[in-house]
Amino acid sequence: MGGIGRAVAARALQAILVAVLVGALCFAMAEALPGDQAFRIAAARYGEDMVSGIAADAVRAELGLDRPAWMRLAGWLGDVARLDLGVSLVSGETVFDELVHQLGATIGLSVAALALSAVLGPPLGVLFALRAGKFVDTAGMAAAAALRAIPTFVVGVALMLVLASWLAILPAAGYDRPQSWLLPTATLALGLAAASSRVARDAMVAALRSGHVAFARTKGLGEADVVRRHALRGAAAPVTAYLGVQLVYLVEGVVVVESLFAWPGIGHALVHAVIARDIPMLQGTALTMGLLFVALNAAVDLACMAIDPRARST
């Protein structure tokens, strides 16, 4: 099997493990939470004013919450094997249908954020590397550290205050027009770009100091050609590999950003499923995010192989 085939197979196996583990962990965690699930679901369905012992009893009977936990988990695993994710305990819709709606919104937002961060981060990083140690580089480092240290939520609120409340040039939230994409995308992308600019900067500095770049210089190439033909490609591999690490930040960011900007994605659904203890929905959203994570990592692997021929043969 070639390197690419092996990488794909390894990721596929990983995906299955992720599915089982995520499902079981979500279930266990939701079960371990204190309190009565029937009341929580009733509160989520009917609102605080209408949740009562009677409503909770009806929910318990309807959903069979009296069955032992292992029976409910086994039922879920069996259903997942048949690609049936069950029915949301709150809305009564199938989890699959809800996820299909949400996944599009989340993938769209994630891809837009990654793209924007790719446009912002690495070019800035290369710029900082070419000016290593100078003012621009130091300022860039300070800005990146600040952006990364501030919680995504605060960055989002700050952007919203400036661009939506004060300048009124962007919609603050929602998803009904093209401009609605900008604030959530920028919120996520700024954090991502902060990190990728630093990684790109360090990779570029290392590449510029490397032997093959020195050789290119001795060979008489102009500095711009050296950078373009030799240093950039050398620096691209670690930057792309780092994307995989960034995905964790992205998944975490999506949860916060979607709630803040009323974005109808999986992160938003996950937060609500946790509050409502909607276990099928919780398992479904966490599972989707887990699988998305594996798929994106696989894509990053393949991209690394494309950039760096050495990775293909190992």
Which residues ranging from 52 to 71 are in contact with another protein (CB under 8 A)?
A: 52-56, 58-59, 62
177 forms part of the interface with another protein (CB under 8 A): yes
116 forms part of the interface with another protein (CB under 8 A): yes
Nearer to another protein, 48 or 314 (CB): 48
Spatial neighbors of 72 by CB under 8 A, at least 6 apart, are: 27, 64, 279
Phi/psi region, residue 67 (left: phi>0; alpha: psi -120 to 50; beta: rest), is: beta
User: Which range, of 20-28, 78-86, 163-171, 244-252, touches another protein by CB under 8 A?
Assistant: 163-171
Long-range contacts of residues 166-170, Cβ cutoff 8 Å, at least 24 apart = none
Report the 10 Å Cβ neighbour count for 246: 22
The angle subtended at Cα 144 by Cα 168 and Cα 228, nearest 5°, is 105
Q: Which of residues 221-260 bind another protein (CB under 8 A)?
A: 222-224, 227-228, 259-260
For another protein, the binding residue among 6, 67, 101, 229 (CB under 8 A) is 101
For another protein, the binding residue among 2, 179, 212, 310 (CB under 8 A) is 179
Question: For the chain, what is the total number of helices (H) and then of strands (E)?
Answer: 14, 0
Phi, psi values for residue 210, rounded to 5°: -75, 165
124 forms part of the interface with another protein (CB under 8 A): yes
Compute the least distance from the CB of residue 266 to another protein, in Å. Answer: 12
106 forms part of the interface with another protein (CB under 8 A): no
In angstroms, rounded to a whole number, what is the distance separating the alpha carbons of residues 226 and 208?
9
173 forms part of the interface with another protein (CB under 8 A): yes
Nearer to another protein, 3 or 86 (CB): 86
134 forms part of the interface with another protein (CB under 8 A): no
273: which 2 tokens? 């499923």
Q: Which of residues 255-284 bind another protein (CB under 8 A)?
A: 259-262, 264, 268-269, 272, 275-277
Q: Which of residues 185-224 bind another protein (CB under 8 A)?
A: 185-186, 189, 222-224
Place of tokens 């300048």: 167
Q: Which of residues 69-88 bind another protein (CB under 8 A)?
A: none
Question: How far is CA 106 from its chain centroid?
Answer: 9
